[in-house]
Structure 1
Amino acid sequence: MIQPKYHVFICTSCRVNGQQKGFCHSKGAVDLVQRFMEEIDDRGLSDDVMITNTGCFGICEKGPVVVVYPEAVWYGNVTDDDVERIFDEHFEGGTPVKDLQI
């Protein structure tokens, strides 16, 4: 079993019935998941970073919401443009991106 260094949870507003609708979904969270996965592939970090899409975290006004474990770092209003910074600074640099944290 792979033991990733980081486990990333991204709210895609997934409902129990499998439908995706809601604030994070309407703000492009599904595309954000894809962007994270592409960055993992581009950087060869498939053993270090694992992505899981989730249901609502309950702070929709901060969405899309991304949570990174094991540090329990919460990022809000994440855009495609922020993904590279998260990889550069947090996953590869070891320091969470302060201005994105909630």
Structure 2
Amino acid sequence: MGYAIHVFVCENERADDHPRGCCTARGSNLIRAWFKDSLCRHGISEGNRVNGTSCLDFCEVGPTIVVYPEGVWYSPKTRDDVEEIVTRHFLTGEVVERLRLR
């Protein structure tokens, strides 16, 4: 049981004046929707999963995602970033270094 690819998208919410900010204010809900859409368009939604989650603790650079089983952390900001992660990482196994968090 489990998923071949499991993406967790931080959807934590904080007060607008919180010094660390939050991923939701930076568009993480859209990021999650774009991942789901992209997986469907590429025909790879079956057996894979995209979930929203609470804080992943990289608030200052969010929105933050983590991709399992590899445990690769990314900070996609645009629909193009999401598409690049799907086409390069999910379809070919190549980590997208320019979006990777370390």
In structure 1, C-alpha distance between the alignment counterparts of 2:77 and 2:67, rounded to whole Å: 13
Kindly provide the amino acid, as one letter, of the partner of residue 36 in structure 1. F
In structure 2, C-alpha distance between the alignment counterparts of 1:55 and 1:11, rounded to whole Å: 6
Q: Which residue of 2 aligns with 1:95?
A: 94
The count of residues paired between Structure 1 and Structure 2 equals 95
Matches within 5 A, 1:69-80: 69-80=68-79
RMSD after superposition: 1.7
Per-residue displacement from partner, 1:38-96 (whole Å, max 9, x unpaired)?
11111111124210100111110110001000100000253222011001110001111
Q: Which residue of 2 aligns with 1:60?
A: 59
Matches within 5 A, 1:25-44: 25-44=24-43
User: Could you tell me the TM-score, scaled by structure 1's length?
Assistant: 0.84
Q: Which runs of 5+ in 2 are unaligned?
A: 15-20
Q: Which residue of 2 aligns with 1:4?
A: 3
User: Could you tell me the TM-score, scaled by structure 2's length?
Assistant: 0.84
